[in-house]
Amino acid sequence: MPNLAIWASGYPRVFRSDADEVRSLQAGTWSPASIDFQAAATRSGHAAGARTFDEILRIIGRQAVGSIERLGIIAHSNSSMIGLAGNIITTGPDAPDVLFSQPGVIDDSVLQAKSADIAKVSDRFTDHASIVLFSCHAGAELNLLIAFQTAFGLDCYGFDDMVQTCTTWITPSLRISSRGRMAYVPGLADQIANGTATPCDFAKNTVWALQPDRAFFSRN
């Protein structure tokens, strides 16, 4: 089990029907929920869901010693924190937006406070293991990558721009046919906004095919 993808499980789907969700996608007010993160993780191999950092540590702890080559975390984030749980905003002037909720937040303070617990599961990783944060702007200012690298002592990779999600549907019924394929191209959000591209134009069948553009490396 060289790769382990952990998906944020604390974002309930906010739509009553596929048709409502498709209309939000068409209006540009949509953001991925846990159902989308789960689809991305499970199509990428060994996967598990978590809504807190403690749950992530328990999942890591259940793996065999020396078995994890790459740990991926699929979630919402910004340049300073990851959110494993929260509320997705699809209506009103702030849409689309995501509000993180405690205790689903992972930031430098959480990683420092959990250093002893992290040490207890550090032997589950191989000698040259790495962490990849599959979330928007997680590598934008390097702060989050540095915090993870410092906490785990592993190379950490992230994305400067927005990580996009491909959702497809059948017309005219507006029934969703697939979800969870993820895409990353710097500047893709602008192309989507001006109608010259869609996330599905660049989506990969596994998150491990995405190419991070930011990294902070271990000195070990």
Question: Per residue in 169-182, pLDDT tens?
Answer: 999 999 999 999 99
pLDDT interval class at 218 (50, 70, 90): confident
Question: Per residue in 178-196, pLDDT tens?
Answer: 999 999 999 999 999 999 9
pLDDT at 127: 93
Say if strands 82-83 and 105-106 run parallel, antiparallel, or are unpaired: antiparallel
pLDDT at 145: 97
The answer to whether the beta carbons of residues 156 and 183 sit under 8 Å apart is: no
* C-beta atoms surrounding 100 within 10 Å: 22
Strand partners, 48: 6
pLDDT interval class at 220 (50, 70, 90): low
pLDDT, averaged across the chain: 96
Closest CA to 152 of 125, 174, 173: 125
Helix (H), strand (E) at residue 48: strand 47-50
Domain count for the chain, please give it: 1
CA–CA distance from 203 to each of 41, 118, 182 (Å)? 14, 33, 5
153: amino acid identity, one letter = G
- For residue 178, what are the domain limits? 3-216
* C-beta atoms surrounding 122 within 10 Å: 13
Check pLDDT > 80 for residue 219.
Answer: no
Check pLDDT > 80 for residue 27.
Answer: yes
What is the average pLDDT across 7-14?
Answer: 97
